[in-house]
Each structure stands twice: as structure tokens, then as C-alpha cells.
Homo-oligomer: A and B are copies of this chain.
Amino acid sequence: MPAEAPLTRETILNAAEQVLRRYGPEKTSVVDIAKFLQVSHGSLYRHFPSKAALREAVTERWLYNSILLPLQAVAEKREGSAESRLRSWFETLISHKRTYAAEEPEMFAMYAAVTLEAEELIKVHVDGLVGQIRSILEYGVETAEFRPGDEASRARALFLGTSSFHHPAHAPEWKDPEIDKAFDAVWQLLLSGLR
């Protein structure tokens, strides 16, 4: 990239993601990203005050584009029963997480680290996901598939009750060949509580 182009937040994030994917979150420095952009690292610090801030911004964008947006589409589908939409939403979440853990290990490792460091960012992300579950629950109450209750609390309970299958700290367990059977057993118990 020629140094004369305007250095936007978007330009920096694109470069940072490429460099992070190549070297991994531990080995990448702000200087590496500045070199890649052919700018001084001082000009990066004007946009991001620290390496941590840059990592968090890259993770935030990745979570939004790779997890929240595709799931939003599933949550908004107005076809099929609420139960099948809910199941499909969770299967999409779980399969996306497993795919990223296996195929984008550098991004996934960074996301797992940021989960521990950037509470507020993760809280916003989880609230977004829980909001999507809630909208499916509300649809299920409308269609009388689910009994009415405190939808916000039940949506969070479904998210927490399935953490073993989507929280990044559990990624080593996802290689277990029995994992889908285990998810199904948890799912059957949780679902009984909605009907």
C-alpha cells in the first residue's frame, strides 16, 4: 500500500488482520503492522493506543462479521418451527466455532485470549447473541410452541447451558468423537424447559 493513501481505521484493521493471521497474536508487534503499511508506528498509535487495543479491535470486527452477522440471518429466518430455528441457530454457532478453531487457529487463539482480557467487548458480543436467541424464543411463544416465561433470562440460560460446545476455552473438547451426541443430550434437557 502506498504511504500517501489516507490511513483510516479500516485500512489499519485490514493490515493488522493479515499480519496477525500470518505471524500469530504473540509474535505480531505494532511495528510489524506499521512496516506492512509502510507508515511509522507513531501514526498507528494515533488510531490505536496499544497493541492490546489493536488486537481487540481486530477480534471485535472478526466476531461481528464471522459470528454475529451470519447468525443474525438464521435468527431472522421466518420459516419452520421455532424449535427448528433455535436448533439451527445453535448448530450454526457451534459449527462456525469449530471451523474457526480448526481452520483459523491464529484468529481463534487471539479471540480466546481477548475473551479473558476484554470483558466489555465480549459482554457486548454475548449480549448480541443472547438477543438473537431471545427473538427466536419470542417467536416460539407467539406460535405457542414454547410456554411464556422470562425470555431474556431463558435466552441467557440457553447460551450458558451450551457453553461447553461454543465457548473458546472448551475448544480442546470439540475433537471428542462423542461431542455431537453430548450436545444432543444437553439440548433435549434444555428444550424440555421451553415447552
Chain A residues engaging chain B, CB cutoff 8 angstroms? 116, 119, 150, 153-154, 156-158, 160-165, 167, 169-170, 172, 181-182, 185-186, 188-195
Q: How many copies does the complex hold?
A: 2
Pick the residue among B116, B154, B181, B193 that contacts A190 (CB under 8 A).
Answer: B193
Q: Quick one: which of B119, B154, B164, B170 contacts A189, CB cutoff 8 A?
A: B154
Q: Which interface residue of A157, A158, A164, A165 has the most chain B CB atoms within 10 A? A: A157
Query: At the interface, is chain A mostly helix, strand, loop or mixed?
Result: helix
Q: Specify which of B150, B170, B181, B189 is in contact with A161 (CB 8 Å cutoff).
A: B189
Q: Establish whether residues B153 and A181, one from each chain, have CB atoms under 8 Å apart when the complex forms.
A: yes
Q: Are A169 and B172 in contact (CB under 8 A)?
A: no
Task: Tell me whether A157 and B182 are in contact in the complex, defined as CB-CB below 8 angstroms, given that A190-B190, A191-B193 are known contacts.
Answer: yes
Known: A153-B185, A181-B153, A189-B193. A116 touches B172 (CB 8 A): yes
Question: Which residues on B sit within 8 Å (CB–CB) of A161?
Answer: 161-162, 164, 186, 189-190
By beta carbon, the residue of chain B nearest A192 is B193
Inter-chain CA distance A182–B156, complex, in Å, is: 7
Query: CA–CA, A191 to B186, complex, Å?
Result: 11
Determine the chain B residues whose CB is within 8 A of the CB of A185 once the complex forms. 150, 153-154, 156-157, 160
Inside 8 A of A190's CB, which chain B residues have their CB?
161, 189-190, 193
Whether A160 pairs with B172 at a CB distance below 8 angstroms is no
Least CB distance, A93 to chain B, in whole angstroms: 15
**When the two chains form their complex, are residues B116 and A189 in contact, meaning their CB atoms are under 8 A apart?**
no
Query: What chain B residues lie within 8 Å of A116 (beta carbons)?
Result: 172
Q: Taking the nearest CB of chain B, how far is it from the CB of A10, in angstroms? A: 31
